[in-house]
């Protein structure tokens, strides 16, 4: 176990709760009930609550968007429904915490718990999500995600409630639901118990700032391609050495930016 993960591991029984403000809850719910996320939800390691922003609009026709001041194409999500939705979620979170339920109080190890629940707005106008950010967010008990749609969201409500702005890449999507799911997926697999014993988040891409080495499963020979001899040797130290070399080679080839940063870091350690 790496140093970074040690604080997560010390309370294996905690569960992490995701609250997603969205106009399309079914998108979130489908993903939340499928595969590893579905299993983790069933077992109570995580919960994913999709909250429909439309349920909170004051508008009697159920409107949640309007034209942008200053002109320009497209509709903007209005502040009021989002703000009221947010307040309802915060109230909910406080209730669960006060009931003593599954709450973990401010951690003694100084990890960033307690205090205000972080609110993440998914937007292309932000730093791009990384494994490091996933690790940081995995230490929270509750996280609130805001998914934009159409042209985006009225700036004033963002100023009022958002603590973190996250993009998933330099391209524009139709909505924040897929980006929120990307983050939830990456964070969830770092919550203890979400990955089974046979799956592991201990050694994989980005752990040392390197991409993972190539991997092989049965059979030993497939279409005349052989599994590298060394992996069959049973010689643990040699296997580790080979894997590190492959990781470095692969990173250099596919992500020269990560490779440069890795070399730089290792230079200063020596």
The binding site for ligand SAH (CB under 6 A) comprises 122-125, 147-149, 151-153, 167-169, 171-173, 175-176, 179
- The Cα 141–Cα 137 span in angstroms is 9
Please say which residue, 22 or 251, places its beta carbon nearer to ligand SAH: 22
- β pairing state of 75-77 and 65-67: antiparallel
Query: Strand, coil or helix: what is 52?
Result: strand
- The Cα 132–Cα 183 span in angstroms is 12
Q: Among all residues, whose Cβ is closest to ligand SAH?
A: 148
* Minimum distance of ligand SAH from residue 65's CB (angstroms): 11
Secondary structure E strands in the chain: 16-22, 46-52, 65-67, 75-77, 118-122, 142-147, 164-166, 221-222, 225-226
Please say which residue, 134 or 168, places its beta carbon nearer to ligand SAH: 168
* Minimum distance of ligand SAH from residue 189's CB (angstroms): 19
Q: 115: closest CA among 93, 85, 87?
A: 93
* Minimum distance of ligand SAH from residue 221's CB (angstroms): 43
Backbone torsions φ then ψ of 76, nearest 5 degrees: -120, 140
Please say which residue, 21 or 37, places its beta carbon nearer to ligand SAH: 21
* Minimum distance of ligand SAH from residue 162's CB (angstroms): 11
How far is residue 68 CA from its own chain's centroid?
Answer: 31
Please say which residue, 114 or 175, places its beta carbon nearer to ligand SAH: 175
* Minimum distance of ligand SAH from residue 179's CB (angstroms): 4
User: Strand pairing partners for 143?
Assistant: 18, 118
Please say which residue, 148 or 192, places its beta carbon nearer to ligand SAH: 148
* Minimum distance of ligand SAH from residue 156's CB (angstroms): 15
Write the DSSP assignment of 111-142 as a string of letters.
-S-SSSPEEEEE-SSSPBP-HHHHHHHTT-SE
Q: How many CB atoms lie within 10 A of CB 78?
A: 20
Please say which residue, 46 or 120, places its beta carbon nearer to ligand SAH: 120
User: Strand pairing partners for 144?
Assistant: 19, 119
Query: Strand, coil or helix: what is 205?
Result: coil
Please say which residue, 68 or 111, places its beta carbon nearer to ligand SAH: 68
* Minimum distance of ligand SAH from residue 150's CB (angstroms): 6
């Amino acid at each position: 176990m790496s140093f970074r993960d040690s604080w997560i591991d010390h309370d294996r029984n905690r569960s992490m709760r995701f609250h997603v403000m969205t106009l399309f809850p079914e998108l979130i719910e489908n993903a939340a009930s499928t595969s590893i996320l579905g299993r983790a939800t069933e077992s109570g390691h995580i919960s994913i609550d999709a909250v429909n922003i439309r349920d909170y609009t004051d508008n009697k026709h159920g409107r949640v968007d309007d034209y942008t001041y200053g002109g320009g194409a497209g509709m903007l999500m209005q502040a009021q429904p989002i703000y009221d939705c947010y307040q309802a979620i915060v109230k909910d979170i406080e209730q669960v915490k006060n009931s003593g339920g599954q709450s973990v109080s401010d951690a003694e190890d100084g990890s960033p718990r307690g205090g205000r629940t972080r609110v993440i707005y998914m937007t292309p106008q932000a730093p791009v999500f990384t494994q490091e950010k996933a690790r940081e967010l995995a230490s929270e008990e509750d996280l609130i995600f805001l998914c934009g749609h159409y042209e985006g969201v009225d700036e004033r409500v963002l100023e009022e409630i958002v603590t973190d702005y996250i993009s998933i890449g330099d391209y524009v999507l139709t909505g924040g639901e897929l980006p929120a799911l990307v983050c939830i997926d990456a964070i969830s697999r770092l919550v203890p118990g979400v990955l089974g014993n046979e799956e592991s988040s201990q050694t994989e891409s980005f752990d040392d700032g390197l991409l993972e080495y190539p991997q092989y499963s049965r059979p030993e020979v497939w279409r005349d391609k052989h599994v590298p001899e060394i992996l069959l040797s049973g010689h643990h130290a040699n296997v580790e050495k080979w894997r590190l070399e492959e990781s470095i080679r692969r990173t250099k080839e596919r992500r020269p930016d990560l490779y440069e940063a890795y070399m730089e870091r290792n230079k200063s350690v020596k």
